[in-house]
Amino acid sequence: MLEQLFKLGENKTNVRTELVAGLTTFLTMAYIIFVNPDILKAAGMPFGAVFAATCVAAAIGCFLMAFLANYPIALAPGMGLNAYFAFTVVGGMKFSWQVALGCVFLSGVIFFIISVLPIREWIVNAIPRSLKMAIAAGIGLFLALIALKNAGIVVAHPATLISHGDLTSFPVVMATLGFVLIVALEYRRIMGGVIIGILAVTIVAIAAGKQKFAGIFDVPPSIAPVFLQMDLAGALNVGLLTVIFAFLFVDLFDNTGTLIALAHRGGFMRPDGTVPRLNRALIADSGAAMIGAAVGTSTTTSYIESASGINAGGKTGLTAAVVGVLFILALFVAPLAGSIPSYATAPALLYVACLMTRGLTEVQWDDITEAAPAVITALAMPFTFSIAEGIAFGFISYAGIKVATGRFGDIHPAVGILAVLFVVKYVIIG
């Protein structure tokens, strides 16, 4: 049955290799079952229900990728967009988390449509590489600011906007040590380095009496408080169009970039540079985003951490299916997830931020008309506390600078149209 489903022989692999690859991938991305509920609780969502939704959404996403596209690529609620969901859409714009879930669902619907129709490639190719890299880096900086805030390292200040907190406090010291531990483990290629770092800080906190231990195993918490709670009517508010666009834009480019990178890493790419079954993979991604919103979590997306499983020999969807099964089993460790303090997950956020910020190295720094919009894009995200604003500022500045320098030919029609729409949005809506 497995041979027929995943074509193991044709892909020169076997069940044992795929099982090991699946376990490897799961251990590198399992931190999301602790981090995602911790972030979304800031939006007022119940921790236990979001924990269950995270595991369910990740499992379904993995199964979709396994059976539709037969790729060893795992999915789960994405970093960056979950923070945008909680701190910008709900915390900053004051919309309910139900409306935010509606925005995620609608972005998934649009993603699905453009994945089926032959317009996805046109959109992806329209965006300059410098802006793409800057958006990824900006999300990294956005995550870094949230991580430093959760750790207590950065606090609000009436005169300077931000300042450092009490650097000798227990949360700050533990978050710092946790980050150093994660980086050291990842440098030494220790499998599951991020989750080891989170658990190590948690154990010390419990031993020191700073955190209550709720246990490890129990029956899964109810998903009912967040299941099918998305407010689609509220999400259609005109002021939320940019929010829907931000979810769609980041999901589309993040997924496309991740899929291409993993296809190259796994040797799945054809000699002409195309990726077999790319449309199926994108359909799986968009379906996972819609289902994720329905079960009660932020955008579900492909994880670059899947590269660890590919390096371990994973070549088929059986690897992704194994990850999906492990996410289902993870439902039974809800008490452990509830025992983890925010300053234990902050180092994981900061580590992911470091990985994402390296996108700035691929900006064309010798061309100021490319570099300047990239810097504006990357800096606007943390300073406005919004991914959507960073994207808007990037498009407007890119088109404006190209026009001012007479380089009209560099502006793709899609970029020009979006820049104009963003300007109109700020003039009319604010």
If pLDDT is split at 50, 70 and 90, which confidence band does 273 have? low
User: How far is the CA of 396 from the CAs of 120, 374, 392, 405, in angstroms?
Assistant: 22, 11, 6, 14
CA distance 154 to 54: 28
Render pLDDT for 390-427 as a digit per residue (tens, 0 to 9). Answer: 888 999 999 999 999 999 888 888 888 888 888 887 88
List pLDDT tens digits, range 372-389.
Answer: 999 999 999 888 887 778
Tokens, residue 380: 């606007």
Handedness of CA 223, 245, 77, 148 (dihedral sign): negative
| Helix (H), strand (E), coil (C) string for the chain | CHHHHHCCCCCCCCHHHHHHHHHHHHHHHCCHHHHHHHHHHHHCCCHHHHHHHHHHHHHHHHHHHHHHHCCCCCEEECCCHHHHHHHHHHCCCCCCHHHHHHHHHHHHHHHHHHHHCCCHHHHHHHCCHHHHHHHHHHHHHHHHHHHHHHHCCEEEECCCEEEECCCCCHHHHHHHHHHHHHHHHHHCCCCCHHHHHHHHHHHHHHHCCCCCCCCCCCCCCCCCCCCCCCCHHHHCCHHHHHHHHHHHHHHHHHHHHHHHHHHHHHCCCCCCCCCCCHHHHHHHHHHHHHHHHHHCCCCEEECCCHHHHHHCCCCCHHHHHHHHHHHHHHHHHHHHHHCCCHHHHHHHHHHHHHHHHHHHHHCCCCCHHHHHHHHHHHHHHHHHCCHHHHHHHHHHHHHHHHHHCCCHHHCCHHHHHHHHHHHHHHHHCC
Question: Can you give the pLDDT at residue 124?
Answer: 66
- Of residues 280 and 181, more confidence is placed in 181
pLDDT at 217: 82
- Locate 83 and state its tokens: 């923070």
pLDDT score, position 54: 94
pTM of this prediction? 0.79
From CA 120, how far away is CA 231, in angstroms rounded?
27
| Mean pLDDT taken over the chain | 86
Find residue 301's DSSP bridge partners: 76
Q: In terms of Cα–Cα distance, which of 199, 276, 235, 198 is closest to 105?
A: 235
Residue of 314, 266, 268 whose CA lies nearest to 25: 314
Find all residues with CB under 8 Å of 137, minimum gap 6, and list them: 356, 357, 358, 359, 360, 374, 378
pLDDT tens digits for range 158-167: 888 888 888 8
The pLDDT tens digits of the residues spanning 109-158 come to: 988 888 888 776 677 667 788 888 888 788 888 888 888 988 889 888 88
pLDDT of res. 304:
77
The pLDDT assigned to 189 comes to 84
User: What would the pLDDT profile of 12-36 be if each residue is shown by its tens digit?
Assistant: 888 888 888 888 888 888 888 988 9
Assess whether pLDDT exceeds 70 at residue 341: yes
